[in-house]
Amino acid sequence: MLKLYGFHVSNYFNMVKLALLEKGFEFEEVRTYPSQEPQFLAMSPMGKIPCLEAREGFLTETAAILEFLEDVTPEVPLLPADPFARAKVRELMRVCELYIELPARRLYSGNNTQQTIDEVKPLVERGLKALGRLAQFGPYLAGRDFSYADIVAYHSFGAVARTMRMVYGWEVMDEVAGLADWYKAVANRPIVHQLDSTIADERQSFFSKQSGE
């Protein structure tokens, strides 16, 4: 059986978990924190989560894991069959990760210099504009079908929206026409909704332990 290492405070872990659930895999979750311990580095070479253990071995990097899951279960597609449509979904995934999630991530620690604060907002603005130019909202990002683009974007926007609100008082979901309705459409999918309650519970217990409550 597949094993998924990580925990729900990681948005990348949540992307892979959602893909596993949507595709109907049986899998075991192993609560694991990022680490530079040799034992974990043997599984996850950067010491990051998520890490997937398959029959063949360990796999890291969310995009690589998602592609693997698609290759082994094409009958429950989260990428379109048509090569160009498939590439368009990957384009959305990349734009979301490289130009929205990664710049925003620079602020996640909360311990931000003014320089970082000044640098990040224009980067995220540019990424959001690109997303707005690409997204179909039909109702999903790449059109009628729910895809990996939705999974990656949905689990990026939770943290991005929270951080942008906290740091700049900026409501990013209002920045792109259609984004807020798309977010609701994804949130209303039964599997997403169920996973979101688990994530909320785990976030709450993680952050209350961290703040010593």
Task: Please choose, from the candidates 68, 38, 71, the residue with its C-alpha nearest in 3D space to the C-alpha of residue 52.
Answer: 68
CA distance 48 to 33: 8
Backbone angles phi, psi at 116, to 5 degrees: -65, -45
Cβ 141 to ligand GSH shortest distance, Å: 18
Element housing 6 (H / E) = strand 2-6
Q: Verify binding: residue 62, ligand GSH, rule CB under 6 A.
A: yes
Q: Verify binding: residue 61, ligand GSH, rule CB under 6 A.
A: yes
CA distance 87 to 85: 5
Q: Verify binding: residue 154, ligand GSH, rule CB under 6 A.
A: no
Count the site residues for ligand GSH by CB under 6 A.
11
Question: In this structure, how many other beta carbons lie within 10 angstroms of the beta carbon of residue 204?
Answer: 11
Q: Verify binding: residue 172, ligand GSH, rule CB under 6 A.
A: no
Taking CB under 6 A as the rule, which mask of x and - marks residues 10-49 in contact with ligand GSH? Answer: xxx---------------------x------------xxx
Cβ 19 to ligand GSH shortest distance, Å: 12
Point out which residues bind ligand GSH (CB under 6 A).
10-12, 34, 47-50, 61-63
